[in-house]
């Protein structure tokens, strides 16, 4: 054996050894903050997404799609303190990119790029987004997750698009039936004016707003400590803020705040209160006002919001929802498109459904045995061996008629085993054939969930009879 050949064999053996070592060390798992979904879980997810999509379409929305990653400069500076959660990608060919953090900024970029064609659009977008957050999978907080967005862009009468976005949110949360909820409303103009009235320096308004945004998870004492200790706010200023952020109500709160002349004389507050009065009147007309709370503690941490902001939280559910947080949120962002289009202002308002959080609640509510993962309507069974080709032919006829059907991929079959598959997959109807049925040109139809009812029909009438039994038009 030559030295060269021996060296090649040694290298080959070393590679094999390395692979063996790697396999022993390697742990099969999904990356942190991600997860797989099994067939039953996907059945629940698909139904949820279908429900959301149906309501989006009912309100006249069209859908678009954007890349899963954007240029880094597109996303930078749009999310306030949350910008640290953006996933940056390595430089590939001279372009710095990041995985999209949400679907709102890509939508604004899309509007800016496509000019006048999309200056007036009602759109929905359901797609994955990515955040380098600390995950809590059981509560639906992930690093990779779906967002379901509904947005209206264009110049319209004030608060009409805002009211419809809120109605869409309300309808979806009613339809998915995860529990009683409240939609908290505020307005960035009121919030910023409140900070001015209380004496917050201009450069600290956004950081202080970010602190207030934590009031749904932290006590006022904790938030105040962050304002004073970490962000350098005067204690008496923080105390003034504390008096306002405890206020909540409905149309009557607008009256109360307008009578507070020190508060309502601020131009931002005055404009914001006018918008809130109009919006609450529209929501009353549309029948959703009882589910809404005008809440001055709501801040929403994202920097791009300019007007009305809102989020929905559960107040009662049949399962434990502690730590879940908001299940939907949104607001008005009139200046975001202008950041990409050289200042051309295209007003926008939108909302996002917390699909993963709703999904986590639905899984808790649903018994696994009650979930039907397949939509198969018919199982074609053979009584004895030698029926494979006939079962194939029957399935083909059913598929051609638009009926979901399947059969066992074996020539030698046992009827009991086939019935077990029907029961396992909750398939409602079985077509049963044997040599006798084949010769006579008939089939037996058996409904699995109606007292094992079985009827014999002519083969030529099979499709019609199956459609009748399954109530298929």
Scanning 130-250, the segments in alpha helix (DSSP H) are 160-176, 188-198, 205-212, 220-225, 235-245
> What distance in Å separates the CA atoms of residue 53 and residue 50, rounded to the nearest whole number?
5
| pLDDT score recorded for residue 5 | 56
| pLDDT score recorded for residue 79 | 85
Which residues are 29's β-sheet partners?
none
- CATH superfamily, domain 378-470, is Anticodon-binding domain (3.40.50.800)
Q: pTM for this one?
A: 0.86
147 annotated as belonging to a binding site for a ligand:
yes
102 annotated as belonging to a binding site for a ligand:
yes
104 annotated as belonging to a binding site for a ligand:
yes
**440 sits in which H/E element:** helix 435-440
Residue ranges of the domains in the chain?
1-30, 39-365, 378-470
**122 sits in which H/E element:** strand 121-130
Burial of 398 (0-12, 13-18, 19+ CB in 10 A): buried
| pLDDT score recorded for residue 8 | 55
300 annotated as belonging to a binding site for a ligand:
yes
> What distance in Å separates the CA atoms of residue 312 and residue 357, rounded to the nearest whole number?
12
Closest CA to 327 of 165, 139, 472: 139
Do domains 39-365 and 378-470 share one topology? The answer is: no
| pLDDT score recorded for residue 325 | 83
Flag residues of the chain having pLDDT under 70. 1-24, 450-452
| pLDDT score recorded for residue 40 | 94
CA dihedral 463, 467, 469, 473 (to 10 degrees): -160
Q: What is the pLDDT of residues 270-304, one digit of tens each?
A: 999 999 999 999 999 999 999 999 999 999 877 88
Residue 419, SS3 per DSSP: helix
356 neighbors 128 (Cβ within 8 angstroms): no
Task: Provide the token pair at 3.
Answer: 């030295």
Task: Provide the token pair at 402.
Answer: 């638009």
Right CATH number for 39-365 from 3.50.50.60, 1.10.1740.10, 3.30.930.10, 3.40.50.1860?
Answer: 3.30.930.10
């Amino acid at each position: 054996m030559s030295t060269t050949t021996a060296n090649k064999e040694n290298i080959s053996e070393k590679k094999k050894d390395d692979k063996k070592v790697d396999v022993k060390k390697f742990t099969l798992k999904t990356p942190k903050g991600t997860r797989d979904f099994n067939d039953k879980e996907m059945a629940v997810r698909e139904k949820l997404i279908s429900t959301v999509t149906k309501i989006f379409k009912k309100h006249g929305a069209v859908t678009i799609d954007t890349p899963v990653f954007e240029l880094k400069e597109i996303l930078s500076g749009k999310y306030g303190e949350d910008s640290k959660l953006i996933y940056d990608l390595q430089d590939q060919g001279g372009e710095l990119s990041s995985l999209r953090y949400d679907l709102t900024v890509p939508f604004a970029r899309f509007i800016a790029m496509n000019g006048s064609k999309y200056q007036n659009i009602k759109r929905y977008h359901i797609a994955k987004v990515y955040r380098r957050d600390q995950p809590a999978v059981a509560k639906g907080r992930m690093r990779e997750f779906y967002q379901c967005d509904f947005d209206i862009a264009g110049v319209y009468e004030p608060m009409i698009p805002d009211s419809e976005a809120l109605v869409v949110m309300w309808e979806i949360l009613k339809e998915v039936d995860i529990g009683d909820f409240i939609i908290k409303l505020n307005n960035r103009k009121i919030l910023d004016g409140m900070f001015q009235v209380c004496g917050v320096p201009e450069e600290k308004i956004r950081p202080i707003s970010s602190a207030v945004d934590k009031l749904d998870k932290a006590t006022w004492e904790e938030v105040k400590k962050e304002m004073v200790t970490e962000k350098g706010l005067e204690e008496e200023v923080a105390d003034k803020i504390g008096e306002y952020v405890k206020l909540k109500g409905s149309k009557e709160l607008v009256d109360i705040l307008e009578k507070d002349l020190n508060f309502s004389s601020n131009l931002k507050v005055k404009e914001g209160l006018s918008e809130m009065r109009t919006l609450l009147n529209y929501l009353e007309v549309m029948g959703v006002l009882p589910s809404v709370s005008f809440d001055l503690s709501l801040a929403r941490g994202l920097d791009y919001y300019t007007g009305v902001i809102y989020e929905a939280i559960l107040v009662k559910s049949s399962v434990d929802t502690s730590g879940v947080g908001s299940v939907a949120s949104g607001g008005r962002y009139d200046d975001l498109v202008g950041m990409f289009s050289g200042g051309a202002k295209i007003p926008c308002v939108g909302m996002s459904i917390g699909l993963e959080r709703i999904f986590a609640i639905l899984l808790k509510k649903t018994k696994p045995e009650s979930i039907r993962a397949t939509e198969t309507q018919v199982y074609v069974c053979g009584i004895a061996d030698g029926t494979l080709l006939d079962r194939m032919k029957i399935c083909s006829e059913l598929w051609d008629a638009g009926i979901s059907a399947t059969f066992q991929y074996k020539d030698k079959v046992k009827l009991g085993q086939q019935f077990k598959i029907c029961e396992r997959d909750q398939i409602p109807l079985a077509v049963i054939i044997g040599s006798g049925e084949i010769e006579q040109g008939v089939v037996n139809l058996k409904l699995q969930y109606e007292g094992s009812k079985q009827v014999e029909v002519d083969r030529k009438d099979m499709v019609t009879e199956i459609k009748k039994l399954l109530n298929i038009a």
